[in-house]
Amino acid sequence: MRGFATLLRREIALAWSSGGGPLMALAFNACAVTLLPLAAGASLDKLKLLAPGFSWVALALASLLSLERLFERDYEDGALDLLALGPLPLELVAAAKCLAQWLCTGLPLALFAPIAVTALGADPRLIPLTFLCSAIGGLGFAFVGGIGAAVSLGARAGGVLIAVIVLPLFTPLAIFGGGAIMGLAEGLDWTSGLLFLSAYSLVWVALGPFAMAWACRNALS
């Protein structure tokens, strides 16, 4: 447990140190959210309909940003080799990295999501559910994205490749998360969307580290 905590602290420190990582993701999210009214017209009545859905798209894309550096940085300077040989199982190493990714990128984005959704004209009563869905969805984005990052270690095309691999796996998060918020906005059932979102995220919290460790061992061999 101490090893896990130490690694977690290291990952969080690294995320904050290199150019203010979470702040970059927040800035990206803000820019993406700004693009929608600029592109689709500023009428709040129209934007209100799209607000939950588009804020999820922005959340998914912002989560993609820091995925490339999740394992790549340690892979390139040899730290991943040491971590693989160390006392902590590689599965827990992967889980620590993804958890740090969620704490440093996912949760800040989840805190920003209600602001984004309200700025796009949505009803303020959506705010609690938006935060909850974005936080749980962020967990899913971190762990599923981690699988994509681990699997493309050593690949040439980098960032866009990870996006192509990972976005199809993000779709259930978008469907259920966005669906839950849209459901509440339209007065329909929102609980099932939230439950399926949580289920999907937790499945990948449980299974993702095994896939990531497998992929890391493959890349290191």
Candidate ranges 58-66, 79-87, 97-105, 146-154; the one touching another protein (CB under 8 A): 146-154
Check binding of 189 to another protein (CB under 8 A).
no
Closest contact distance (angstroms) between CB of 31 and another protein is 26
SS (H, E, C) the chain: CHHHHHHHHHHHHHHHHCCCHHHHHHHHHHHHHHHHHHHHCCCHHHHHHHHHHHHHHHHHHHHHHCCHHHHHHHHHHCHHHHHHHCCCCHHHHHHHHHHHHHHHHHHHHHHHHHHHHHHCCCCHHHHHHHHHHHHHHHHHHHHHHHHHHHHCCCCCCCHHHHHHHHHHHHHHHHHHHHHHHHHHHHCCCCHHHHHHHHHHHHHHHHHHHHHHHHHHHHHHC
Looking at 45, 87, 156, 187, which residue binds another protein (CB under 8 A)?
A: 156
Check binding of 17 to another protein (CB under 8 A).
no
Size of the site for another protein (CB under 8 A): 24
Closest contact distance (angstroms) between CB of 175 and another protein is 8
Looking at 134, 152, 198, 201, which residue binds another protein (CB under 8 A)?
A: 152
- Residues of span 164-183 touching another protein by CB under 8 A: 164-165, 167-169, 171-172, 175
Check binding of 142 to another protein (CB under 8 A).
no
The residues binding another protein (CB under 8 A) are: 147-148, 151-157, 161, 164-165, 167-169, 171-172, 175, 211, 214-215, 218-219, 221
